[in-house]
Structure 1
Amino acid sequence: MKYVIIGGVAAGMSAAMEIYRTDETAEITVLERGEDYSYGQCGLPYVINDVIPELEDVVARRVETFREKYGMDARISTEVTNINVKDQIVYGIDLETGDGFQVSYDKLLITTGADPVKPKWEGIDLKGVHTLKTLTDTEEIMQDLDEGVEHVTIVGGGYIGLEMAESFKTLGKEVTLIQRGEQVAPIFDSDMADLIHEEAKQKGIDLKLGESVTGFSGKDRVESVKTDQHTYSTDFVLLAIGVLANTQFLQGTGIHLNPRGAILVNPYMETSLKNIYAAGDCATDFHRIKQKDDHIPLGTTANKQGRIAGANMAGNPLQFKGVLGTSIIKFFDLTLGRVGLSEREAEQLKFPYEVQTSKANSHAGYYPGGETLHMKLIYHRDSKKLLGGQIIGKKGVDKRVDVLAMALYHDMTIHELVDVDLSYAPPYNGVWDPLQQMGRKAK
């Protein structure tokens, strides 16, 4: 059986290894547009600010490992340009030589990920304007920072923008963050985002909210950022305004995409085309609370979907059970966690809902060192089933977000939180966990 995988990072290589373990006769070809395989993109901000000492530390396996140890035809610098779905042939270009190539397949997996959005703004190609996704991007950013950069401007206040704001600030740079909307971290509700704004200002981040970037100016290197309201001097720009699924090469194949270009898949990671599967950031994921396809590109989802796609391709049927949008981020002294629906999303979906908010201690009040947890739960007004939660604080956020994720996965009500047998010792918790206290107070 000839397996071809387009994309060699999280989803692609999770699938490749699952095929390798399941089908002993597999012929596996991997076509990777970049130069690196199987690395942790989420660790890159921490390489840039030296929390992770070496770039190599975020690499799980080098391409040579897949070739020499696992016998895969693992290629680099190969860009796929077209697929003949009738004859089951993949066409592409070797980016090093410029030569075309073709590879036939019995089963094909598309794991091409999502590329950072890079609008056609004036000056977008000036030196000093960067995006962050790959190891190469990371190296270029680090080299550029060493050229005497003093002021960094970040365009976009999502997770990458916030993580990089902290990263640049810890390197001693002056940091301006420009966000088109009225709040950073738009996956949080505005009342929770206010806590993030406060932390940013306390740490010296110059927030510019409600401004839209229109372009950049400079001679050879970026010197200023233009918005619809002002012009700001800078000598380094990071674009972090979101990603789009890398699926342009699929035009003409007839494959079904969602409105933003992500590949529609079923629970077995099958696409609308015979013998073609998709997984990771280029594919949709079923949202368990919304009960419809969504597109939430996260590393956890990519690895799960890749494993499931590989298993199904190799004849071991597995189903992807869906996502809850569970995520967490470190932002200076705060941890920002959320799962399920925000209040804004519940309104958009016309769910009848109630909101419960609370400020609680991260562990037993009499034990020293406790920190305040700012908590928000959203639940269905009629069934009382949990719909989502947002938690921000300095300690204990991860513990509660994961408890909520498990509760949402199993369709629990806010009142059923009270009965869960959670761990307790004064350094870690009170006899009633803050989530359980909220369950007791709910209507």
Structure 2
Amino acid sequence: MNYVIIGGDAAGMSAAMQIVRTDKKAKVTTLEMGGIYSYAQCGLPYYIGGLTESSDDLIARSRDTFEEEYGIDARVYHKVTKIDTEGKRVFGTNLKNGESFEISYDKCLVATGAAPVVPPFEGTGLEGVHTLKTIPDAEAIVDDLENASDVTVIGGGYIGLEMAENLVEKGKKVRIIDQASRLGSVYDKEFSKAIEDEAARHGIEVVTGESVERFEGEERVKSVVTGGKTYSTDLVIVAIGVKPNTSMIDDTRVHASENGAIIVNAYMETNVEDLYAAGDCATQYHRIKEKNDYQPLGTHANKQGRIAGINMSGGSQPFQGIVGTSIMKFFDLTVGKTGLGEKEAEDLGFDFETLEFEGHSNAGYYPGNEPLLLKVISHKNTGHLLGLQAVGKNGVDKRIDVAATALYHRMTMADIENLDLSYAPPYNGVWDPLQQAARRMK
């Protein structure tokens, strides 16, 4: 069996490894547009901030490892531009020498990930304007920071906030510009307020509700112009989101969502026979929304890639879906979310109720006790948990993960109250804050 995998990171190589372990006669060819395989994209801000000493530390397995130990034909700088789904061939360009290539397949996986969104701002080609998606992107930013003291981050989402934190830790003056009315708009407004307060506490200039029009400078960027003001700067990082990298299916029968993500079923199959998709280029089924969603995260990519590999090599295992879990560190705060936020619940037509509850990270009498703000959303009629958001210095991850598990199993607030959760004064009170909130919502 001749397998072709387009993309050499989380989803693609999870699939490749599953195939070679299952099908001992498999011929696996992986086509990576860049020069590096299997790296931790989520670790890039921390490499830039100096918490990770070398970019090599972000690489899980090298290309040589895949080739020499597992027999995978792992090619680099091979950009796929077209898929012939009828003739089962992929076409592309070798970015090193400009030569075209054509490879036939029995089964093919599209695992091309996502690309940074860069609106057509005037001046995006100036020196000092960066995006962050790959290790070379991060290395370029690290090098360029030597020339910069004032940095502007465009975008107040996960990457923008993580970059802002790490740039402050590097001693830079940092500004965040976001066209949304508040930072961290994936969260409800109470949590955005906590993020903005933390940004101000660390000297970050926060500009919300302004859209970037252009970058100005001669050879190097000197300023960012919005609809209202001009901001002097030495370096710009554009971090306003990503879009699925799926242009190679444009002239095919492959079904895609409105944003370009390839629509897959539970087995990672597209609507075209023997063509699969997984990771940030594909949709993910959301168990609470009960429909396809798009939440590009490494956790989903690894799971979907593994399942694609199992099914491509003869197995039959479904992807069980997501519940929308995420977490981030922002200086001394941790902010997390799982399930639905208030606006999502409204848009989906749920009859819901909410409760804000301020608990504590551990027993009130134990040193290091910190406030922990929870916002719980539940179904008004059935009592089922619909979502949890949390912010605090300690203990957010524990409550988010408990709630994510509860969402997966469709638990009610009464079920959550009855959970046997761990307790010792350094870690919790006798009633966990999530259970205290559940008691008030029954």
TM-score, length basis structure 2: 0.99
- 1:241-390 matches, cutoff 5 A: 241-390=240-389
How far has the Cα of 1:305 moved from its partner? 0.2
1:20 offset after TM fit, Å?
A: 0.8
Find the aligned partners of 1:98 and 1:368 in 2 and give their Cα distance: 63
C-alpha distance in structure 1 between counterparts of 2:266 and 2:185, whole Å: 28
| In structure 2, C-alpha distance between the alignment counterparts of 1:441 and 1:307, rounded to whole Å | 41
Specify the code of the residue in structure 1 equivalent to 2:417.
V
2 CA distance for matches of 1:285 and 1:245?
12
Q: Quote the residue 1:115 is aligned against.
A: 115
TM alignment of 1:56-71, pairs within 5 A: 56-71=56-71
Q: Secondary structure at the match of 1:204?
A: coil
1:167 aligns with 2:166: yes
1:4-403 aligned at under 5 Å gives the runs 4-146=4-146, 148-403=147-402
Measured after TM superposition, the shift of residue 163 of structure 1 is: 0.1
> How far is 1:196 from its partner?
0.7
Moved over 2 A (4+): none
Deviation at 1:205, TM superposition (A): 0.7
Aligned-partner Cα distance in 1 for 2:234–2:323: 39
Name the counterpart of 2:407. 408
Hey, what's the Cα distance between the residues in 2 that align with 1:432 and 1:60? Answer: 40
How large is the RMSD of aligned CA atoms in angstroms? 0.6
Task: Report the secondary structure of 1:120's partner residue.
Answer: coil
Identity of matched residues, %: 54
**Residues 378-424 of structure 1, C-alpha deviations (whole Å, 9 max, x = no match):** 00011110000000000000011000000000000112111000010
Q: Distance in 2 between matches of 1:143 and 1:433?
A: 46
* Alpha-carbon separation, structure 1, partners of 2:261 and 2:47: 29
| TM superposition shift of 1:81 | 1.0
For this pair of structures, how many residues does the alignment match?
442
Q: Secondary structure at the match of 1:69?
A: helix
Q: What's the secondary structure of 2:70's corresponding residue?
A: coil
- Paired amino acid for 1:400: R
Residue type of the alignment partner of 1:417: I
What is the CA deviation profile of residues 251-296 of structure 1, one whole-angstrom value per residue up to 9, with x for unaligned ones? 1111000000000000000001110000000000000000000000
User: 1:169-215 CA deviation, whole Å, 9 max, x = no partner?
Assistant: 00000000001011111110112211111111011110001000011
Amino acid of the residue matched to residue 132 of structure 1? L
Which letter does structure 1 place at the counterpart of 2:29?
A: T
- Residue 57 of structure 1 deviates from its aligned partner by 0.6
CA distance in 2: counterparts of 1:395 and 1:292, whole angstroms: 33
Distance of 1:24 and 1:395 partners within structure 2: 47
* Equivalent residue number for residue 3 of structure 2: 3
SS in 2 for 1:258: coil
Task: State the secondary structure of the residue aligned to 2:44.
Answer: helix
1:433 and 1:251 map into 2 onto residues whose CA distance is 50
Q: CA deviation at 1:76?
A: 0.3
Determine the C-alpha separation between the residues in 2 that align with 1:173 and 1:192. Answer: 25
Q: Which amino acid aligns with 2:369?
A: G
Counterpart for residue 437 of structure 1:
436
Question: SS at the partner of 2:159?
Answer: helix
Shift of 1:250: 1.0
Q: Which runs of 5+ in 2 are unaligned?
A: none
CA distance in structure 2 between the aligned counterparts of 1:414 and 1:158, rounded to whole angstroms? 30
Secondary structure in structure 2 of the residue aligned to 1:121 = coil
C-alpha separation in 2, matches of 1:441 and 1:93: 60
Structure-2 separation of matches of 1:367 and 1:168: 34
**Letter in structure 1 aligned against 2:229:** H
Report the alpha carbon displacement of residue 333 of structure 1 after superposing the two structures with TM.
0.2
Deviations 1:300-356 (Å, cap 9, x if unpaired)? 000000000000000111100001110000000000110000001001111110001
**1:368 Cα deviation from its structure 2 partner:** 1.1
* Aligned equivalents of 1:173, 1:49: Cα separation in 2: 11
For normalisation by structure 1, the TM-score amounts to 0.99
- Whole-Å Cα distance in 1 between the matches of residues 15 and 185 of structure 2? 32
List alignment gaps of at least 5 residues for structure 1.
Answer: none
- Aligned-pair CA distance for 1:120: 1.1
